[in-house]
Amino acid sequence: MDRDREFMALALEQARKSYAEGGVPVGAVMVEAGEVIASGHNQRVQQGDPIAHGEMDCIRKAGRRARYGDVTLYTTLSPCMMCAGAIVQFGIGRVVVGEERNFRGNAGFLREHGVEVTLLDDAGCRSLMDAFIAERPDLWDEDIAGNG
């Protein structure tokens, strides 16, 4: 769990980077055998890319690979249906979620499909999203297409 907090802090750093750029503050890191192999954050504003949620940007940055069963994906916010679908399709073995209070997400769906899910309910992840949603409800609504 200590290592989970450590890796989540790196995902939160990604989220804060996106926030500082005026973007949606969701970040992610991918870990394999105790090492970070990729990190990313939401790129809707920065690249005008609606599919680049934090988790998706991180999966993209990990590049081409044939299997994901041994990786853990850390994400500051519970995965939306797109990101949850990607996690199941690629067979990512484990997901660690920063918080699900600001967005319910799909931990149940992931578990039903055999993904191990750990919820940290991290105060830093929560307060960043609290601030963003209060400041930019328009951008938040766009990012989840009203499907919150």
Closest distance to its own copies from the beta carbon of 77 (Å) = 13
Closest distance to its own copies from the beta carbon of 109 (Å) = 9
Annotated catalytic residue, options 32, 55, 99, 135 = 55
Can you tell me the distance from the alpha carbon of 138 to that of 76, in angstroms, rounded to the nearest whole number?
A: 20
By CB under 8 A, tell whether 37 contacts its own copies: no
Residue 90 DSSP label:
H
Q: What is the Cα 146 distance to its own chain's centre?
A: 18
Pick out residues in 103-142 that bind its own copies (CB under 8 A).
141-142
Can you tell me the distance from the alpha carbon of 58 to that of 27, in angstroms, rounded to the nearest whole number?
A: 8
Closest distance to its own copies from the beta carbon of 2 (Å) = 30
- 135 catalytic residue (yes or no): no
Q: Per DSSP, what are the bridge partners of residue 28?
A: 40, 75
Q: Which amino acid is at 81?
A: M
Residue with token string 């994400």: 75
Q: How far apart are the first and last CA of the chain?
A: 29
Stretch of 19-27, 28-36, 44-52, 123-131 contacting its own copies, by CB under 8 A = 44-52
Query: What residues act catalytically?
Result: 55
Q: Which residues bind its own copies (CB under 8 A)?
A: 44, 48-52, 56, 59-60, 62-68, 80-86, 88-91, 141-142, 144-147
